[in-house]
Amino acid sequence: MTNSSWLRQLAKYLARFDLREVFGDRTVVRNVQGVRLAMPWSHRLPDYARLYPTYGQNLVDLAVGLGEIDKPLGVIDVGANIGDSAAQILARVDARVLCVEGDPEYLPYLERNIGSDDRCVIEFGLLVTELSDAAGLGAVRAGGTTRFAQDGAGDGATPVAVAELASRHQELPPIRLVKSDTDGYDTTLIPPLARAYAESRPVLFFEYDHDLTRKAGKPNPVAVWADLRDAGYSSVGIWDNFGKALHLLSIDDVPARAAILDAPFADRGYYYWDVAVVHADDDAGKAVVERLIPKSR
């Protein structure tokens, strides 16, 4: 086979694949939503941000609103990934951010993107409620996200219990915003995080996905709402996963509305909810969420 014919065959072969997947580990630097970020080429964040400009901006807007009141704003970012949320918050808010990441694939990017910022602390650890919960879990990666499962790669970080996380980082200001993006484990982690930081009554921002929650071993995703109500939380702002505002509800009304997440995609037009859950005694947090999601929705 001549060189030219070999190259043509190679071109045909590569054309069958997304080059970003074939060479996905290559490091690239992209300007995304106002910040400059290093990431693996396979990461889909630039695509989401380009197609849906509101993607992820609900979290940033929430931080901005809370940061007008609490200075500096104490933030915990669980599932920090490459540091995109932390970088965007720090670009706009006087904040101190604890970034928790359990996947070693993303740790170098997290360190490169925000590790030199003295307003950030990186905790490389797989956050769990109890250390025994991490037994057998490994990373399952796709397009820039990671979920931990029994059939995963087995190369996650050392587990860190929620209670230990709180005691390790007492240098932080009062925590007023907790963000969790852990592909199904959010409903497991959020109630103990709320209890661990109960004194400062943080707003709890997390991805709420029935399918991923069940894959993570929680057969009843709606149970989280009773847990959070018992922890003193009373109202919930809801967006779709593209960042479009949907509802502002009493926490007691959420389970009935959440039935839509078990319907076919065509019936709702989005994949999951982003939610911001506010404590009954947090008037400032309520006011911020109400500005972002008018009561008429």
**pLDDT tens by residue, 239-289:** 999 999 999 999 999 999 999 999 999 999 999 999 999 999 999 999 999
Please tell me what DSSP assigns to residue 212: H
Q: Tokens standing for 59?
A: 């979290």
What does each C-alpha distance from 24 to 20, 63, 275 come to in angstroms? 5, 32, 31
CATH topology of domain 51-292: Rossmann fold (3.40.50)
Beta bridge partners of 207: 274
The pLDDT value recorded for residue 262 is 96
- What is the rounded distance in angstroms from the CA atom of residue 182 to the CA atom of residue 237? 19
Distance of CA 202 to the CA centre of its chain: 16
Q: Tokens standing for 195?
A: 């209890």
- Global pTM value: 0.90
Closest CA relative to residue 127, chosen from 178, 74, 55, 66: 178
Beta bridge partners of 248: 237
What does each C-alpha distance from 123 to 67, 78, 136 come to in angstroms? 23, 9, 21
The pLDDT value recorded for residue 14 is 46
- What is the rounded distance in angstroms from the CA atom of residue 67 to the CA atom of residue 74? 9
Closest CA relative to residue 139, chosen from 106, 103, 108, 109: 103
Closest CA relative to residue 172, chosen from 41, 260, 73, 257: 73
Residues (pLDDT < 70) of the chain are 1-24, 134, 138-140, 143-144, 147, 149, 151-156, 295-297
Q: Map residue 5 onto helix, strand or coil.
A: helix
Residues 6+ positions from 244 with CB-CB distance below 8 Å: 54, 270
Q: Sign of dihedral through CA atoms 242, 247, 248, 254? A: negative
Distance of CA 217 to the CA centre of its chain: 19
Distance of CA 59 to the CA centre of its chain: 9
> E strand or H helix at 245, and its extent?
strand 245-250
Amino acid letter, 71 = K
Angle formed by the axes of helices 283-292 and 57-67, nearest 10°: 140
- What is the rounded distance in angstroms from the CA atom of residue 274 to the CA atom of residue 107? 24
The pLDDT value recorded for residue 158 is 86
The pLDDT value recorded for residue 143 is 64
